[in-house]
């Protein structure tokens, strides 16, 4: 688990509009992350002003030639996952911030945006899971140091404000493409409706075999299942104020 020295590392909560993020890094990179979040939101808002369908579509949208690279990445993820581009918006904002932090020199940077996490870490951390179920408490994924930016993104049919057509306690997707992880977490959640073992197996295999997805996990109706390359699950006290939270022990 991570042992944070808060004289060196800062952990802050930052909100603007619909975006509510937790940023963890050395103090020098906090403002870099905030500025990047403003910039990412402006890029996405500009696209919505140009094409209102971009915001409301539940179907994939193909990017246009003149789109910003961030929009193109959101569209690419939507096509791969079979969902609308805004299914990846939280991950898009999070990874945009971490990328800027890395350019500025950060080697330990975490941005969590509504249960979707973009991170780069030079030490071990734990990422806690919350499914609003007393039989599935105080569990976390042990995340080793990373070679680059990676994503851990979650969707829930029972917790949080995001739209899901399923009924899972939590669906989590791991990918080095953070926006893809976010879009695929939504897609995975949409597939888990009854929470039966066969349905969960089909959902995990469907999403886990999408190019770029490393692994995925689902908890629903007392069943927990994983597919692909998924980090070790460990015991860890989890704060219950969100779907997926980074815990510092």
Position 162 pLDDT exceeds 60: no
Q: What average pLDDT does the chain have?
A: 86
What's the predicted TM-score (pTM) here? 0.89
Position 166 pLDDT exceeds 90: no
Residues sharing a CB contact under 8 Å with residue 22, sequence separation 6 or more, in sequence order? 11, 12, 13, 14, 110, 111, 112, 245, 246
| Cα angle, residue 161 at apex, residues 157 and 164 outer, rounded to 5° | 35
Instruction: Specify whether the CB–CB gap between 108 and 120 falls below 8 A.
Output: yes
Owner of token pair 């977490």:
185
Instruction: Specify whether the CB–CB gap between 180 and 81 falls below 8 A.
Output: yes
More confident residue, 219 or 166: 219
Which helix (H) or strand (E) covers residue 93, if one does? helix 89-103
Q: Confidence class of residue 244 from pLDDT cuts 50, 70 and 90?
A: very low
Which helix (H) or strand (E) covers residue 12, if one does? strand 9-16
pLDDT at 151: 97
Q: pLDDT tens-digit profile of 64-111?
A: 999 999 999 999 999 999 999 999 999 999 999 999 999 999 999 999
């Amino acid at each position: 688990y991570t042992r944070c020295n808060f004289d060196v590392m800062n952990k802050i909560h930052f909100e603007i509009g619909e975006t509510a993020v937790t940023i963890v890094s050395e103090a020098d990179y906090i403002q870099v992350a905030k500025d990047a979040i403003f910039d990412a939101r402006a890029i996405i808002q500009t696209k919505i002003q140009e094409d209102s369908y971009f915001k409301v579509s539940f179907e994939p949208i193909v990017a246009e030639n003149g789109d910003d690279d961030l929009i193109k990445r959101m569209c690419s993820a939507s096509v791969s996952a079979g969902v609308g581009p805004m299914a990846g918006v939280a991950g898009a904002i999070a990874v945009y911030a971490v990328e800027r932090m890395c350019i500025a020199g950060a080697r330990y940077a975490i941005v969590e945006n509504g249960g979707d996490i973009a991170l780069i870490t030079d030490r071990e951390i734990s990422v806690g899971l919350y499914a609003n179920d007393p039989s599935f408490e105080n569990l976390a994924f042990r995340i080793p140091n990373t070679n680059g930016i990676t994503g851990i993104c979650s969707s829930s049919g029972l917790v949080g404000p995001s739209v899901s057509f399923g009924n899972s306690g939590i669906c989590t997707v791991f990918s080095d493409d953070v926006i893809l992880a976010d879009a695929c977490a939504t897609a995975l959640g949409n597939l888990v409706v009854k929470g039966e073992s066969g349905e969960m197996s089909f959902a995990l295999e469907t999403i886990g075999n999408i190019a770029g997805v490393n692994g995925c996990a689902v908890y629903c109706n007392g069943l927990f299942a994983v597919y692909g390359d998924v980090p070790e699950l460990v015991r860890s006290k989890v704060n219950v104020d969100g779907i997926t939270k980074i815990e510092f022990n």
